[in-house]
Amino acid sequence: MVRSSIRLASRVPLIAVLVLLFLQVFTPAPPVMFALTALLGALGASYIWARQLAKGVAMERERRYGWAQVGDILEERFTLHNDAWVPILWAEMLDGSNLPGYNASRATGLGIRTTERWRVTGTCSQRGLYRLGPTEIRMGDPFGLFEVRLQHGYSETFVVYPPIAAIPQLFEPRGLSRGSARTNARSLDFTTNASSIRPYAPGDALKRIHWPSTARKSLPGREDIYVKEFDLEPAGDLWIVLDMDEAVHAGSGAESTEEYGVILAASLAYQMLHAGHAVGLITHNNGPEMVPARRGHHQLWEILRVLAGAHAVSDLSMHQMLGLFEPVMGRGMSAALITPSSDPDWLSGVTALLRHGIHSTAILLDADSFGGNGNVQGMVGALADVGVTSHIVSQGFEFPFIGQRHDQRPQYRVLGTGRVIVTHKGDETQRRWIPVGRARREAR
């Protein structure tokens, strides 16, 4: 919604008019009359000027990309139109975006019935969910008596996803059966593979009912109900469990166990999804967060969206989180446990996963190397005693990040004849300009 307003920049002119009017009434004099006339004329001319600006000025805002990853470039294009019969002597555009290191505010001027365009770029240095907008334009008349404000309240969420690194193969996912094809063994638990249907039996959960088959196969006068049967996972699909307990994390900014954990979770999800596994995410921020295990490229963005807003603000320990989510983790899957915790209490949760046929691997963030406290070597030994493989990641670990999207922009080459050709087009779908908002006050 666009709102425009015109207000006096100061009350001094009104006070001066009242004083001069009082003097003219009780002690008339030509100088007083001249000053009163000049001041009223300036106020009238300034108001007409401001009224023209309020009616004739518009601003358009477009964004080049709909999302970004850490290290990408955010680019926006602004267009300021002046359709009024008076020039814009000064205009201050105030941007309410909260993306760190990004400032689209600007001061400019514009002639009569002209247009100005400019671009603003910034580097997305921090993952998270941010706001672009709202926008406010402030303008004024030549005498500075009136201030015109054009407020555009439109704002939108802009997601900066965590970066993805090409990490080494940390573990071999395991399942109850091998291979990439379906198995003939049926599962009593819910898995990602629904294989067939059968008639309903007492004790079947209602969510197993396959309603299309029930509607199609039911005979007249009978109410036959059919439920889905699930295969055991043919290969070890993966649950990523990310510990966000505030009490165990250490470090700050990019060099923190929180940031390392998020990068490892994002990179592991990318690696496993690329290999054809189903991947799910479990974590806890201000509340429980779970992305059900699925396959496909779209699943990566679901996981990255949750990771973008993941911060170490949870009061739930790793032991409590495993106990909370263990019932929803399907039998025969694998679990990657990412945590800086050295508390041996959560080993009982790992043991419970193993009893339910969930193969587990721990990725331990060495909190001591980040300036915190922890005995990571002791945890490695304790995990080995229960048959769980673990890997240690310390501060300074070099993540070989996969190329960012802004590296995919067009590249040009000039031939000897002077002709310019495109040697790399990049992702055309992501290079389109996306309208973000338009601030305009229509004439009444």
The DSSP line for 56-115 is HEEEEEEES-S-EETTPEEEEEEEEEE-SSS-EEEEEEEE----TT----EEEEE-TTEE
Distance CA 315, CA 317 (A): 6
Closest CA relative to residue 65, chosen from 99, 106, 96: 99
For the ranges 7-11, 162-166, 227-231, the lowest mean pLDDT is seen at 227-231
Please say whether the beta carbons of 308 and 127 come within 8 A: yes
Once rounded to an integer, what is the mean pLDDT over residues 135-162? 91
Give the orientation angle of helix 297-308 with respect to helix 257-274, to 10 degrees.
Answer: 170
Instruction: Report the CATH fold assignment for 1-163.
Output: Immunoglobulin-like (2.60.40)
Domain ranges of the chain: 1-163, 195-230, 238-393
pLDDT tens digits, residue range 88-141?
Answer: 999 999 999 999 989 999 999 999 999 999 999 998 989 999 999 899 999 999
Closest CA relative to residue 21, chosen from 6, 5, 43: 43
Two structure tokens written together for 295: 């396959």
Q: Is residue 395 scored above 90 in pLDDT?
A: yes
pLDDT at 81: 93
pLDDT tens digits, residue range 252-280?
Answer: 988 999 999 999 999 999 999 988 889 99
**CATH 1.10.10.10, domain 238-393, yes or no:** no
Q: Is residue 221 scored above 70 in pLDDT?
A: no
Between 24 and 434, the higher pLDDT residue = 24
Q: Is residue 437 scored above 70 in pLDDT?
A: no
Burial code (b: 16+ CB inside 10 Å, e: under 16) for 341-356 equals bbbeebbebbeebeee
Q: Is residue 306 scored above 90 in pLDDT?
A: yes
Within this chain, domains 1-163 and 238-393 share the same CATH topology: no
Mean pLDDT, the chain, rounded, equals 83
Distance CA 105, CA 117 (A): 14
